[in-house]
A and B are shown apart, each in its own frame.
Chain A
Amino acid sequence: MAEPMRIRATMAGDVADVKVLMNHPMETGLRKDAKTGQLVPAHFIQDVTATVNGAAVLNADFGTGISKNPYLGFKVKGPQKGDKVVVNWVDNKGDKNSAEATIG
């Protein structure tokens, strides 16, 4: 289920620019399957956390209004090149995934 995520972190001045691409269907629970006419059950990422060197920088809650294969960009002031960024997500079915990158 958990397909790889893509993550990239680069320094621009004293700010780290982090970009994350998650692989997830983000089903709202309102869409009908074209073939069967049945509602496709809701399946979406609910909670995303990001840390830099183990310290929390971002805690995001997603609703069903986030697009399929969510993209998330954020900026953190202060880290050094070589610091480690880790991003985790958990969806409404309890699936989870994690990715890490070294700030370059």
Chain B
Amino acid sequence: MNALRRNVLKGAAGAGAVAIAVAAGLLKPTQAMAAWNKAAFEAKSVGDAMKGLDVVGPIDSKEITIKMPDIAENGAVVPVEVTSSIAGTTGIAIFAEKNGTPLVGSYSLSGGAEGFISTRIKVAQTSFVRAVVNAGGKSYTATKEVKVTVGGCGG
């Protein structure tokens, strides 16, 4: 009886703390609610973006292939294909390292989806494009450099 009462009180206090954090602007409501990972997508560096995705110390892997042109004339549209032959791949994230916000897209795979994503991204300037793959609770990574003649962000 008393334990239950304690828990109820604790729960109320916890909810109160969240409300205060929201009011103080520490936690934006969208951040707390939406599935879209605002912290990771708005991070200004690859390290921060990875932190936002809970990626810690990814291992370099040759089993990840990034297929994209060596030279992209138009940085606004750069085709990228990421293939992971690591067994049990459940997630792929793509970063353009020198973009203002490096995280481009994050894909979680389930229900028989293969470790493959094909897309087109914006690349601001000549830089490395990095793929991070989640498989079996571990993170793996690979990069490929792309030379950009005309930048793809703003103008």
Contact = CB atoms under 8 A, between A and B. Distances in A.
Interface string A51-62: 010011111111
A15 to B, nearest CB: 6
Interface string A34-66: 000000000000110000100111111111111
10 contacts: A31-B153, A58-B108, A59-B110, A60-B117, A61-B35, A65-B122, A70-B120, A73-B81, A74-B114, A74-B118
A32 interface: yes
B105 A73 contact: no
A70 B113 CA distance: 20
Interface of B: 34-37, 41, 76-79, 81, 96, 99-114, 116-123, 152-155
B41 A74 contact: no
B109 A46 contact: no
A58 B107 contact: yes
Contacts of B155: 31
A55 B113 CA distance: 11
Contacts, number: 116
Interface residues of A, number: 33
A32 B111 contact: no
A61 B36 CA distance: 6
A52 B111 contact: yes
A63 B116 contact: no
A65 B104 CA distance: 5
Nearest to A63: B41
Contacts of B110: 56-59
Given A63-B104, A65-B96, A28 B154 contact: yes
B105 A58 contact: no
A89 to B, nearest CB: 12
Contacts of A46: 34, 36
A11 B73 CA distance: 33
